């Protein structure tokens, strides 16, 4: 009687790595993560960017290279396109030339994604606070807007399914974290949360703007006129505030009249000097030049005002 030997099982060859989740349906690759939703700060890389307005070039030949968690100081004379450069790097103004990436996103083709990544903390003429509202009202309004418009659909659905008590607790936690990061203690204000914005000192208003921006947990925040009308001690406090925000991992773009020599805690500092003739240069490349003429300054301020009005309407 002949016995049949069992045939050996064929060896399985390892499947090539296609980048697809094994649990996902066949034929569907796992989508790449959205750079706007990645944790940490956003790197800023720009080369030869420029913006042209109705009356000519606002800035041109700008080169910026900043790592995540850096402070980028945009400094120069008034009317040299500093605010427009700030808005362009956050996706609020459309570039005319050059290439730039913010957090891995191409600025000229993915401006909407850049706007979700970057938040405006203090840009007069674009995101002004309402003087008659109180500090608490501004904070509650921002939390509600962030819950309604600033979260992904799935996260918004999960939040809607929570009980009112849980939603209030979540809002309070986000509210307290933003205030702590901005260094704003409501108990020290004249009327605590009921203090009107018009009664705040300039540095307190800056801290409130930073707290409102951090509620959305951005990867980059933009601040205009950091040192405007501030004494030397208050100027140091303002830069210390921005340095602490950058130390937490959030990249900071800041327009200023004069950049500091260094920041507390060895936070990386990148200085870009705007120049009417050449657009912008690094601090090492910018030579000393005479002050611009009054006519040139007036013309440039008109261009900036037109650009800010257009951005506010948008």
pLDDT digits (tens, 9 = 90+) for 227-285: 998 999 999 999 999 999 999 999 999 999 999 999 998 999 999 998 754 444 444 44
pTM of the predicted model as reported, rounded to 2 decimal places: 0.75
Q: By CB neighbour count within 10 A (0-12 exposed, 13-18 middle, 19+ buried), where does 193 fall?
A: middle
CA–CA separation, 114 and 112 (whole Å): 5
* DSSP β-ladder status, 279-282 and 118-122: unpaired
Asked if residue 165 has pLDDT above 50, the reply is yes
Average pLDDT, the chain: 80
Specify the pLDDT at position 294: 46
Measured in residues, the chain has a length of 314
Least confident of 15-29, 133-147, 220-234: 15-29
Segment 289-298, tens digit of pLDDT? 444 444 444 5
261: number of Cβ within 10 Å:
7
* DSSP β-ladder status, 220-223 and 251-256: parallel
Cα(first)–Cα(last) distance of the chain, in Å?
91
Compute the Cα dihedral for 199, 149, 117, 274 and give only its sign. negative
Picking from 174, 172, 192, 173, the residue whose alpha carbon sits closest to that of residue 184 is 192
């Amino acid at each position: 009687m002949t016995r049949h030997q069992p045939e050996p099982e064929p060896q399985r060859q390892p499947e090539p790595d296609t980048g697809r989740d094994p649990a996902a349906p066949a034929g569907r690759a796992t989508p790449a993560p959205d750079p706007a939703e990645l944790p940490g700060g956003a790197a800023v890389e720009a080369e030869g960017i420029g913006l042209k307005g109705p009356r000519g070039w606002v800035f041109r030949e700008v080169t910026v290279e900043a790592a995540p968690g850096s402070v980028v100081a945009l400094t120069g004379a008034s009317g040299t396109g500093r605010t427009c450069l700030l808005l362009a790097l956050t996706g609020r103004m459309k570039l005319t030339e050059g290439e730039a990436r913010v957090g891995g996103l191409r600025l000229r083709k993915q401006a909407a994604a850049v706007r979700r990544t970057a938040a405006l903390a203090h840009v007069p003429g674009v995101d002004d606070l309402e003087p008659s509202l109180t500090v608490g009202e501004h904070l509650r309004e921002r939390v509600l807007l962030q819950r309604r418009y600033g979260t992904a659909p799935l996260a918004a659905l999960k939040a809607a399914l929570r009980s009112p008590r849980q939603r209030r607790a979540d809002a309070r936690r986000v509210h307290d974290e933003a205030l702590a990061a901005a260094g704003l203690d409501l108990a020290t204000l004249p009327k605590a949360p009921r203090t009107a914005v018009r009664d705040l000192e300039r540095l307190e208003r800056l801290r409130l703007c930073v707290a409102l921006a951090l509620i959305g947990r951005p990867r980059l925040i933009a601040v205009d006129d950091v040192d405007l009308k501030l004494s030397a001690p208050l100027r140091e406090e303002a830069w210390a505030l921005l340095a602490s925000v950058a130390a937490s991992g959030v990249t900071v773009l800041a327009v200023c009249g004069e950049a500091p020599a260094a920041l507390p805690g060895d936070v990386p500092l990148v200085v870009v000097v705007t120049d009417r003739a050449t657009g912008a240069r690094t601090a090492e490349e910018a030579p000393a030049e005479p002050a611009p003429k009054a006519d040139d300054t007036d013309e440039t301020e008109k261009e900036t005002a037109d650009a800010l009005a257009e951005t506010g309407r948008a």
